[in-house]
Amino acid sequence: MDESFTPMSSFQHDHVQRLIKSNRYKSPSKTIYSNRFIPSRSGSNFDFFNLPPSSSSEDSCSCSPYSTALRSALFGPDTPDKFESPNIFRYKTETRKSLYSLSPTPFTFQDDLLPGYDHNQKPPKRPRKIPPSSFKVLDAPALQDDFYLNLVDWSSNNVLAVALETSVYLWNASSSKVTKLCDLGIDNSVCSVGWAPLGTYLAVGSNSGKVQIWDVSQGKSIRTMEGHRLRVGALAWSSSLLSSGGRDKSIYQRDIRAQEDFISKLSGHKSEVCGLKWSCDNRELASGGNDNRLLVWNQKSTQPVLKFCEHTAAVKAIAWSPHVSGLLASGGGTADRNIRFWNTTTNTQLNCIDTGSQVCNLVWSKNVNELVSTHGYSQNQIIVWKYPTMSKQLLQAILTEFFILPYLLMDRLSSVGLETKLLGFGMYSLCRNHGIPRVKLVHLLGELSLDDSS
């Protein structure tokens, strides 16, 4: 059956042609409004606000009543018609509020739009808080006043060991409990104490030349090692290896896992060994003696691989930098008073600082590149040094309670409260008050501010 064909009218023909020639058909009867990002003002009813429609020219848009009212509502009535920044309305994600901003709002959008804003600007450093007094003072009767001995040490488990003549006492910093660990007897005395890295064993050096290893958790001695003929005044741990230095001028290397009392003997000093310190990587051992020498040994040598003879007094204060490999600091006694810095990789002296007093101990901060030194005769100071500028900050304000003779310092970092969320030096010094020795414990918070240096 044949279908009849009806020709299109002119109106239908025009409609089909418009559909073919255009990608999409926009109904002239519908007003286009805006999407979420790009506003369109063409569909706005300005009569509702009693505002005349804006001009289509760009020059008149910025001065239209609608733009003026919007600008006044957003930025205030005194806002100029034009802004210097062409990107003031650019799309920008929110950024977290900086910790040092005083703005009460949790986010900030406009800080980096301000004139002269530096994106690389660092927040100001928190100045060091120097406490007006120590947080704990422990009486230490019968504590020997001897520059060459090392009678106090703090463990990684927050336990302080103090040698009082023939006995060793433990003070738990967490519970404030004091216990007596051992007593060597009336014919002997304790000359040095040193905690193993894990804080479970304590080495005790005696005046008789013997070294005892104590299991603190069980409260008993697990072995006694001989070798030295005279008193043992210096101890240093490197994992399971214990180094001991004595008045007999020798250093013994002891592996507590081995049956032998010592695995090697190091000879190089011509007088009493009063300072021992292993490097942070446990590859090198530094020793200081009353012969004014600073010697460096490696793990396998029985003779020193480096000799530094620039000090003019006994070298007891020794500290390896945890920040720079091979950087070693040493301090001299009363006749020397200098802190010297050495590069053990190149065998060179880097710097020398005259402190004006006997240098008793040195320790590096593990957080920042700072060094703390304690001093005896004649100024009895504690000083924080900023390395490598060596600007210093005296901590004399802490020490005004007593006549001070500080000569010991711990190298343990301790947390000082969740509310501060800071780590600082946990430090002790030995002092005397009317002839009674005392151990003072002090926290130093924050980083040394150069503005406070003196």
The one-letter amino acid code at 41 reads R
Per-residue pLDDT of the chain (454 residues; tens, 9 = 90+): 444 455 556 666 676 666 665 555 455 555 555 455 555 555 555 555 555 555 554 444 556 777 777 777 777 776 666 555 555 444 444 444 444 444 444 444 444 445 555 556 666 666 656 665 666 777 778 788 788 999 988 888 889 899 999 999 999 888 989 999 999 999 999 999 999 999 999 999 999 999 999 999 999 999 999 999 999 999 999 999 999 999 999 999 999 999 999 999 999 999 999 999 999 999 999 999 999 999 999 988 899 999 999 999 999 999 999 999 999 999 999 999 999 999 999 999 999 999 999 998 898 988 889 998 888 888 878 888 999 999 987 765 444 333 333 334 333 333 222 222 222 333 444 454 445 566 665 554 443 332 333 3
| Token representation of residue 316 | 């007891």
Q: Pick from 257, 253, 277: which is nearest to 265 by CA?
A: 253
pTM above 0.85, yes or no: no
Cβ neighbours for 3, distance < 8 A, ≥ 6 positions apart = none
For tokens 């040490």, the residue is 153
Contact between residue 360 and residue 331 where contact means Cβ atoms under 8 Å apart? yes
CB atoms within 10 A of CB 106: 8
| Measured CA distances, 72 to 12, 52, 214 (Å) | 52, 17, 79
For 15-75, what is the HEC assignment? HHHHHHHCCCCCCCCCCCCCCCCCCCCCCCCHHHHCCCCCCCCHHHHCCCHHHHHHHHHHH
Q: In this structure, how many other beta carbons lie within 10 angstroms of the beta carbon of residue 44?
A: 17
